């Protein structure tokens, strides 16, 4: 036998190798360059196995991305078949069929005249591409001063320099630089954290007024784009007040400001639709960015869908020599696009419908966790939700005593058979869209127990007396 054990070689230890050689995303200084994380072994349907071989419900579907579930043979076969047919071609001077097909299908799903698609390698590069497109668009139109980007507290748009400059969650920018002269941050549209005593309607008015005043103060002539997630995902599943997005979109339209709807999380079924901007929120953006669910995480792919009007304007600008000098080696990757086509077949073949049907049950069952005194609010839409813990329900104090409460809940839930995504004092849930009622029941029962055990721990340690 040639197995390492019998040949006398030491067995491979992933944890040891990772600590020595693997750098993970978002490390802290005290651990950087010397860190291993929980090992995931295999995936199957809504489950993944850990390093010890225990099977857990994949609460966050990887990173909001494994929408059709793990171990889909159809997708694995496409990966294989496309790689054998054509594994790569240069998009600089050639093209392939899967990307042209996928662009056509995505255009058919996108709202209004959004019918041109540029493919990237993920969400950050999609947002980056949209922002560089806005810069090109305004340069070509003779408006080089129209470049400021509006973003919001609580937002997450990526980890490349310009996309990361838009991020507004706590800790995102504490130790990292950004293009601050180009970005203006507005308030987070979080109804749970609205000023005490204010109605949601008045809160919405306040946010819209702030937007309008900002446009006035900076001047529309200097503002190129507003970038926003219809529902802020990793900021804690922030569902904005009803009509807020429509009213912001109207101000953008009136002031020639591009509305970039970042649907990296909300598209491809998370809210039951291929794109949610129009079908769920009633807005017709100028650009939609997407990634994650487009391939259900089986291949790194993202992109933007752009309004035909913008291309028309650029072509009519008498600047026919101007080049949009932007593109990636892996733009229009044939394997990624082939996987996305099959993934779309699966979504359209019943998974979108299932997601729409099961979403109310998912939200209802999770909402029942509000009976636990540590839980301040459970909110969400479609198959994305957040359980936000608070030290005190009256003051909505986000458990400042113990910022890692999400991690504690995650540890208990892991033992009980559920992977959760801890975010400071919040737990975010966004399972594969194929999740059944029974699996939702199990997920909620484990969360209930995991949060109860966390409450006991916090009481015992004298950190909380709820």
Q: In which region does residue 292 sit, left (phi positive, over 0), alpha (psi from -120 to 50) or beta (all else)?
A: left
Q: How far is CA 337 from CA 106, 125, 227, 328, 424, in A?
A: 11, 16, 25, 15, 35
DSSP letter string, 170-232: TTTSSS----GGGEEEE----GGGSPTT--HHHHHHHHHHHHHHHHHHH-GGGEEEEEE-SSB
C-beta of residue 272 within 8 angstroms of C-beta of residue 225: no
Q: Does 425 bind ligand PLP (CB under 6 A)?
A: no
Q: How far is CA 172 from CA 19, 169, 265, 407, in A?
A: 24, 6, 18, 18
**Binding region for ligand PLP (CB under 6 A) out of 131-139, 155-163, 196-204, 434-442:** 155-163
Q: What residues contact 231, with CB distance under 8 A and at least 6 apart?
A: 237, 238, 239, 240, 265, 266, 271, 276, 381, 384
Q: Does 172 bind ligand PLP (CB under 6 A)?
A: no
Q: Does 128 bind ligand PLP (CB under 6 A)?
A: no
Q: Cβ of residue 31: shortest distance to ligand PLP, in angstroms?
A: 21
Q: Cβ of residue 287: shortest distance to ligand PLP, in angstroms?
A: 13
**Binding region for ligand PLP (CB under 6 A) out of 81-89, 94-102, 152-160, 246-254:** 152-160
**Binding region for ligand PLP (CB under 6 A) out of 1-9, 260-268, 391-399, 419-427:** 260-268
Q: Cβ of residue 64: shortest distance to ligand PLP, in angstroms?
A: 7
C-beta of residue 272 within 8 angstroms of C-beta of residue 142: no
Quick one: 266 or 439, whose CB is closer to ligand PLP?
Answer: 266
**Binding region for ligand PLP (CB under 6 A) out of 84-92, 118-126, 146-154, 450-458:** 118-126
Q: Does 264 bind ligand PLP (CB under 6 A)?
A: yes
| Coil/strand/helix, residue 145 | coil
**Binding region for ligand PLP (CB under 6 A) out of 121-129, 177-185, 357-365, 402-410:** 121-129
Q: Cβ of residue 144: shortest distance to ligand PLP, in angstroms?
A: 27
Among 47, 157, 379, 448, binds ligand PLP (CB under 6 A): 157
**Euclidean distance between CA atoms 398 and 29, whole angstroms:** 24
**Binding region for ligand PLP (CB under 6 A) out of 43-51, 154-162, 341-349, 440-448:** 154-162
Q: Cβ of residue 352: shortest distance to ligand PLP, in angstroms?
A: 20
Q: Does 158 bind ligand PLP (CB under 6 A)?
A: yes
C-beta of residue 360 within 8 angstroms of C-beta of residue 324: no
Q: Cβ of residue 230: shortest distance to ligand PLP, in angstroms?
A: 9
Which tokens belong to 96?
């392939």
Q: Does 122 bind ligand PLP (CB under 6 A)?
A: yes
Say if residue 344 is exposed, middle or buried (CB neighbours under 10 Å; 0-12, 13-18, 19+): buried
Q: Cβ of residue 432: shortest distance to ligand PLP, in angstroms?
A: 17
C-beta of residue 380 within 8 angstroms of C-beta of residue 366: yes
Quick one: 124 or 363, whose CB is closer to ligand PLP?
Answer: 124
Quick one: 146 or 157, whose CB is closer to ligand PLP?
Answer: 157
Query: What HEC string does 216-280 produce?
Result: HHHCHHHEEEEEECCCECCCCCECCCCCHHHHHHHHHHHCCCEEEEECCCCCCCCCCCCCCCCCC
Say if residue 321 is exposed, middle or buried (CB neighbours under 10 Å; 0-12, 13-18, 19+): exposed
Among 106, 233, 305, 390, binds ligand PLP (CB under 6 A): 233
**Euclidean distance between CA atoms 167 and 187, whole angstroms:** 12
Which tokens belong to 68?
């059709």
Q: Does 391 bind ligand PLP (CB under 6 A)?
A: no
Among 119, 156, 275, 281, binds ligand PLP (CB under 6 A): 156
Q: Does 231 bind ligand PLP (CB under 6 A)?
A: no
Q: Does 234 bind ligand PLP (CB under 6 A)?
A: yes
Binding mask 298-317 for ligand PLP (x = CB under 6 A): ----x---------------
Among candidate residues 387, 449, 384, the one with its CA nearest the CA of residue 415: 449
Q: Cβ of residue 429: shortest distance to ligand PLP, in angstroms?
A: 15
Closest residue to ligand PLP, judged by C-beta, is 123
Q: Cβ of residue 157: shortest distance to ligand PLP, in angstroms?
A: 5
Interface ranges with ligand PLP (CB under 6 A): 63, 122-124, 127, 156-158, 229, 233-234, 262, 264-265, 291, 302
């Amino acid at each position: 036998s040639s197995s390492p054990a019998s040949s006398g070689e030491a067995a491979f230890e992933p944890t040891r190798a990772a600590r020595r050689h693997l750098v993970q995303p978002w490390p802290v200084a005290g651990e950087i360059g010397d860190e291993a994380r929980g090992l995931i072994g295999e995936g199957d349907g809504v489950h993944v196995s850990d390093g010890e071989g225990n099977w857990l419900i994949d609460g966050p579907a990887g990173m909001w991305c494994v929408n059709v579930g793990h171990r889909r043979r159809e997708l694995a076969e496409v990966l294989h078949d496309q790689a054998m047919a054509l594994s790569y071609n240069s998009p600089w001077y050639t093209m392939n069929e899967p990307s042209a097909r996928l662009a056509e299908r995505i255009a058919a799903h996108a709202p209004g005249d959004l019918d041109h698609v540029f493919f990237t390698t993920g969400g950050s590069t999609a947002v980056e591409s949209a922002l560089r497109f806005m810069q090109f668009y305004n340069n070509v139109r003779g408006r080089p001063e129209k470049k400021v980007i509006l973003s919001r507290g609580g937002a997450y748009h990526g980890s490349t320099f310009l996309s990361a400059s838009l991020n507004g969650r706590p800790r995102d920018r504490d130790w990292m630089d950004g293009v601050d002269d180009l970005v203006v941050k507005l308030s987070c549209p979080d109804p749970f954290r609205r000023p005490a005593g204010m109605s949601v309607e008045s809160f919405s008015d306040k946010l819209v007024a702030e937007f309008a005043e900002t446009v006035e103060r900076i001047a529309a002539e200097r503002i190129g784009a507003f970038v926003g997630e219809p529902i802020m995902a990793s900021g804690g599943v922030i569902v904005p007040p009803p009509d807020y997005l429509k009213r912001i979109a109207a101000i953008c339209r009136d002031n020639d400001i591009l509305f970039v709807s970042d649907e990296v999380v909300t598209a491809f079924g998370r809210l039951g639709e291929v794109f949610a901007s129009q079908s769920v929120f009633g807005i017709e953006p100028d650009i939609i960015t997407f990634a994650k669910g487009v391939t259900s995480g089986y291949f790194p792919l993202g992109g933007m869908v752009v309004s035909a009007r913008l291309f028309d304007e650029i072509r009519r600008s008498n600047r026919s020599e101007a080049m949009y000098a932007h593109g990636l080696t892996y733009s229009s990757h044939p394997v990624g696009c082939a996987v996305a086509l099959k993934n779309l077949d699966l979504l359209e073949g019943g998974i979108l419908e299932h997601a729409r049907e099961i979403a109310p049950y998912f939200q209802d069952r999770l909402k029942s966790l509000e009976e636990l005194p540590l839980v301040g609010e459970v909110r969400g839409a479609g198959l994305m939700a957040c359980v936000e813990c608070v030290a005190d329900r009256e003051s909505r104090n986000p458990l400042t005593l113990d910022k890692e409460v999400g991690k504690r809940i995650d540890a208990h839930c892991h033992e009980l058979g559920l992977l959760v995504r801890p975010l400071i004092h919040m737990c975010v849930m966004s399972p594969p869209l194929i999740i059944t009622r029974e699996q939702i029941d199990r997920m909620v029962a484990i969360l209930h127990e995991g949060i109860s055990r966390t409450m006991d721990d916090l009481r015992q340690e004298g950190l909380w007396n709820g």
